[in-house]
A and B are shown apart, each in its own frame.
Chain A
Amino acid sequence: MTLDALGAILLIPTISAALLAILPGYMLAARLNIAAALATFLTSLSLFVIEPTSGQYLLLDDLNKVFIVLTTFIGFTTSVFSASYIHHEIETGRLTPAFLRFYHAMYQMLMFAMNLALVANNIGLMWVAVEVATLTTVLMVGIYRTHEALEAAWKYFILGSVGIALALFGTILVYMAARPAVGEGLDGMVWTVLVKHAAQFDPALLNVAFVFLLLGYGTKVGLAPLHAWLPDAHAEGPTPISAVLSGLLLNVALYALLRFKMMLAVNSEAIAPGPLMVTMGLISVIFAALMLYRRRDIKRMFAYSSIEHMGIIVFAFGMGGPLANFAGLLHMAMHSLTKSAIFFAVGHIAQVKGTQKIADIGGLTTTNPVLGWGLMLGVIAIVGLPPLGIFMSEFLVVSSTFARAPWLTVILVLGIIIALGGLFLRVGVVMFGEPKGKTAPAEASYVPMFTHLGLVLMAGIYLPPVLVTGFQNVAKLLG
């Protein structure tokens, strides 16, 4: 097999993970980490120019191209943020250089696993990749070794493993359903082959398989009521990992779900996955929106906000149709950019103030204006106020579903408004109240945060036609 770009986006992280594992000196490691992430991102951009051919193991189509570029881009910006973040952690002694070596190696492993999940054409391989991604993040969440971090990591490990086990059972059932039509062996797991023949599969078996897949990968997406691991994992791990978890890993799990949804759509006798996804999405939105009101930890609060937005995205994809799919896709991209920008800001704020407790942080706009206003802008974006990108995508979700299911839309909008109230209530104190905590100036890298926010703002005002046609193609593909 000759090495093409698809192979390269897997190979670069693997090699750098191995290098980072043996490389002493965290400054150098952080730079190598950035360089590797940048190389992966540039390679993924080349996918638009030269399209590698899909094989039995790797696949490239319009759908995963979007996911790959988004993943590698945020992987790159987060590595830039991570470099300044860990610098501070070393100074305060929360992490030691030995841990950082491990941290950087795991970061690239995670990138590898996510890329593999996105390009895998084999549903077994995709499962393995999601599993590897889960295990690496478990290790990273527990890296601080505090009581809370261990508790969070253990919970994440147990719940994530159970979820992933259920997904494997679903995968096996899909293979069973495919066997009579496709035949034994490798073909029965190749996604492109499966989709081609899905019309002849046994619908009953396919239905049960999808329920398992929804529960399994749904756990990883963080859909209520399977979300219990998510707030802890976000709050206790290093903040760059929170950013990657919210911005990327949830999307990867969602991507797996979408692939199976496309397969079910081909079989006319199987259940429509839409209503199931719509229901779980709505439950997540309402539940997470209500949970926002009683949060005391700032990272936890934004973790709940991630649940809410994943709910909106799953809702949009569940409704289906070209417009709702388009809206879901746009919302996913916007949410990833905004949420990781918010975590960049929150990470530096928590470092400056030495705490994540909302009660101990106050008056940020006076003590650290750049960080404070950066976070404020992020929050304005995430609650869906115009003119930022999330307003646009939420507006599209709502307007595209209103004609078809007015009542569902009412519930959705209610959830979004409740969430807006909750977030502003909490963030207002942090932003404008009495200045509290330490007031040392932040040694932050603002570039990744404002790059993301700038992109979100730009998307809200003007979407380039290239992007629109690209997203429209994907939306058509999703059915």
Chain B
Amino acid sequence: MSSLQFDIAHLLAGSLVLASFMMLYQDRLYALLNVYALHAGVLALSVAWQAYVQQAPHLYITALIALAFKAIIIPVALHRIIKRLGIHREIENVIGVGLTMMAGIGLVALSMVVMLRVTPGADALAREDLAFALSVVLLGLLIMVTRRNAVSQVVGFMSLENGLVLAATGAKGMPLVVEISVAFSVLIAFIVIGIFLFRIRERFDSVDVQALDRFRGERR
């Protein structure tokens, strides 16, 4: 592999981590969705580049799925859901942006240390990809725990899933069946989420998860 190919792959995977960081501090839902669309777009590019580098045509399908579903359909659908729920003007208080960013940096450092240490045998591209993928996964988790709005939790979860796709494409020769079924399950999960968002709204007049907490089983 030429060093240019490696550099571009590296750049794209790095951009994905960067996009995750951008999601950490968005306090408007629309802005968060736009960054998520960007996140998925970068993922599609990254997967397509891997397809080219590894000469694995089936990865183009994965890239296409990422582009179609995650960068276009899901963000558009979420836009409409937000509008119908009437929460598009809401501003979410992201808890301690500075602290969250510091935690994010810590998580990225952690995943670099862990992944690079345990994969000395693997080829350089796969190593870097895995490290970046783990960072995206952990940042997705961080987004989920710092948010209180159900929609932003979902977006955090979707970004986490993007990290998994990055890891799967980095692993050379991963069977396509797996990727397609993963994509499918994400889609189903998304439909489930959609249903639930409406039900939660219908019951609680809000999609703030704190409203849910009050109804926890034994607090009455």
Give the B-binding residues of A (Cβ under 8 A).
124-125, 128, 131-132, 135, 138-139, 142, 145-148, 150-155, 157-158, 161-162, 165-166, 168-169, 172-173, 175-176, 179-180, 183-186, 188-189, 202, 204-205, 207-208, 231-232, 235-236, 295-297, 300
Given contacts A135-B185, A184-B173, contact A161 B217 (CB under 8 A): no
**Residue contact A154 to B161, C-beta cutoff 8 Å:** no
Smallest CB gap from B216: residue in A: A151
**Residue contact B199 to A189, C-beta cutoff 8 Å:** no
Partner of A300, one of B134, B150, B189, B217: B217
The answer, yes or no, to whether B85 is at the interface (CB within 8 Å) is no
**Residue contact A139 to B192, C-beta cutoff 8 Å:** yes
CB-CB under 8 A from B122, the residues of chain A are: 176, 202, 205
Partner of A176, one of B117, B171, B209: B171
CB-CB under 8 A from B160, the residues of chain A are: 162, 165
Secondary structure class of chain B's binding surface, majority of residues: helix
Given contacts A147-B204, A162-B157, A204-B118, contact A154 B171 (CB under 8 A): no
Partner of B173, one of A150, A188, A297: A188
CB-CB under 8 A from A169, the residues of chain B are: 133-134, 137, 164, 167
CB-CB under 8 A from B5, the residues of chain A are: none
Smallest CB gap from A206: residue in B: B118
Question: How far apart sit A131 and B199, CA to CA, in the bound complex (Å)?
Answer: 22
Stretch touching chain A among B19-27, B87-95, B96-104, B174-182: B174-182
The answer, yes or no, to whether B200 is at the interface (CB within 8 Å) is yes
**Residue contact B150 to A154, C-beta cutoff 8 Å:** yes
Question: How far apart sit A166 and B157, CA to CA, in the bound complex (Å)?
Answer: 12
**Residue contact A204 to B119, C-beta cutoff 8 Å:** yes
Instruction: Report, nearest first, the 8 A-B pairs whose CB atoms are least far apart.
Output: A184-B173, A124-B178, A204-B118, A147-B215, A151-B212, A128-B181, A172-B167, A186-B175
Given contacts A297-B217, A300-B218, contact A175 B174 (CB under 8 A): yes
The answer, yes or no, to whether B126 is at the interface (CB within 8 Å) is yes
Question: How far apart sit A131 and B186, CA to CA, in the bound complex (Å)?
Answer: 10
The answer, yes or no, to whether B52 is at the interface (CB within 8 Å) is no
Smallest CB gap from B172: residue in A: A184
B148-192: which have CB < 8 Å to A? 150, 153, 157, 160-161, 164, 167-168, 171-175, 177-178, 181-182, 185, 188-189, 192
Smallest CB gap from B188: residue in A: A135
Partner of B175, one of A153, A189, A232, A295: A189
CB-CB under 8 A from B172, the residues of chain A are: 179, 184
CB-CB under 8 A from B200, the residues of chain A are: 150, 154
CB-CB under 8 A from B168, the residues of chain A are: 172
By size class, the interface of chain B is 35 or more
Partner of A232, one of B199, B204, B217: B217
CB-CB under 8 A from A183, the residues of chain B are: 173
Question: How far apart sit A183 and B171, CA to CA, in the bound complex (Å)?
Answer: 12
The answer, yes or no, to whether B84 is at the interface (CB within 8 Å) is no
B135-156: which have CB < 8 Å to A? 137, 141, 144, 150, 153
Give the A-binding residues of B (Cβ under 8 A).
114-115, 117-122, 126, 130, 133-134, 137, 141, 144, 150, 153, 157, 160-161, 164, 167-168, 171-175, 177-178, 181-182, 185, 188-189, 192-193, 196, 199-200, 203-204, 209, 212-213, 215-218
Partner of A162, one of B130, B144, B196, B213: B144
**Residue contact A235 to B171, C-beta cutoff 8 Å:** no
Question: How far apart sit A185 and B171, CA to CA, in the bound complex (Å)?
Answer: 10
Give, as a whole number of angstroms, the nearest-CB distance from A325 to chain B. 29
**Residue contact A150 to B212, C-beta cutoff 8 Å:** yes
Give, as a whole number of angstroms, the nearest-CB distance from B98 to chain A. 25
Partner of A158, one of B134, B144, B177, B181: B144
Question: How far apart sit A387 and B26, CA to CA, in the bound complex (Å)?
Answer: 61
CB-CB under 8 A from B157, the residues of chain A are: 158, 161-162, 165
CB-CB under 8 A from B177, the residues of chain A are: 124-125, 186
**Residue contact A179 to B171, C-beta cutoff 8 Å:** yes
26 pairs, CB–CB < 8 Å, chain A vs chain B: A124-B177, A124-B178, A145-B199, A147-B212, A148-B216, A150-B196, A150-B203, A153-B196, A157-B193, A158-B144, A158-B157, A162-B141, A165-B161, A168-B182, A172-B167, A176-B122, A180-B121, A183-B173, A188-B175, A204-B117, A204-B119, A205-B118, A205-B119, A208-B118, A231-B217, A297-B218
Partner of B121, one of A202, A235, A296: A202
Smallest CB gap from A209: residue in B: B118
